[in-house]
Amino acid sequence: MKGGREALAAARTAATQTTDKLQVDDELAAVAVSQRDAKGALGILDAIEKTAGADPSTVAFVLVDAGRHREALVPIAAALATADGGHVTSGLARNLRRQALVARAAAESGMRDVAAMTKTSAALDEGAAASPDAPLAQSAMHYGRGMLAVTKGDAAAARAHFDQCSNEDELCKWQGVVTAEKAGDTAGAAIARDQLLKHYGRDPLHLVMRSRLAPAAR
């Protein structure tokens, strides 16, 4: 992983476009998260914020991964304010809102806040109802319902929803692996894990997910 980090640093130095530098920064932040270096990841994201504006949902994800669930609610609230503020296009607003609600579900489930999680799941349901032909919205709905079930301690119901998430929704499928493991279904967790690890990607979430799941897959 150290060599990969050095290669990314070199790529950032060589990049001439701001967008290219920001993409590398996103990947560097993901590497830091995969190494459980939340402080380092947040430092990188803070630098992005000063340059072009870091995605609040990404900041929230780093905080949730570090177990700082309540802190994660702050950038999530900022993302929702942007989505609902009327200053971005409707399509962007929908995406921002969905991503923020997904992040909020992770934070609230981590806090075992059933009441708050119930409201977040309902909000994701509303988003899915408003976009019946949007796979990401439908997948987010199942993620929300699954996380609500996790918060209530109902692993079977949670897995039923995670199984209905899109195969492209790696966050949801990852949670399915975690839930299966906690339920003691070693075989089911192994199958789900292997399915996720068959594919390789460079997006930040995939890098973090692989760092968490790959050691257990050996």
For residues 105-114, one letter each, b for 16 or more C-beta atoms within 10 angstroms of the residue's C-beta and e for the rest, the string is bbbbbbbebe
For CA atoms 48, 42, 13, 22, give the dihedral sign. negative
Alpha carbon distance 140, 135 (integer Å) = 8
How far is residue 175 from each of residues 42, 52, 65, 106, 126, measured CA to CA in Å? 23, 31, 12, 10, 22
How many residues does this entry show for the chain? Answer: 218
Alpha carbon distance 143, 107 (integer Å) = 13
Closest CA to 45 of 36, 35, 58, 61: 58
At 39, the amino acid letter reads K
**Are 39 and 11 contacting, i.e. CB atoms less than 8 angstroms apart?**
no
User: For the whole model, what pTM was predicted?
Assistant: 0.79
Q: What is the chain's pLDDT, residue by residue, as a tens digit (218 residues)?
A: 444 445 445 544 444 444 444 455 566 666 676 777 777 776 766 665 554 445 677 778 888 888 889 989 988 998 899 889 888 889 989 998 999 999 999 999 999 999 999 999 999 999 999 999 999 999 999 999 999 999 999 999 999 999 999 999 999 999 999 999 999 999 999 999 999 888 877 677 787 888 888 764 44
CATH number listed for the domain at residues 55-217: 1.25.40
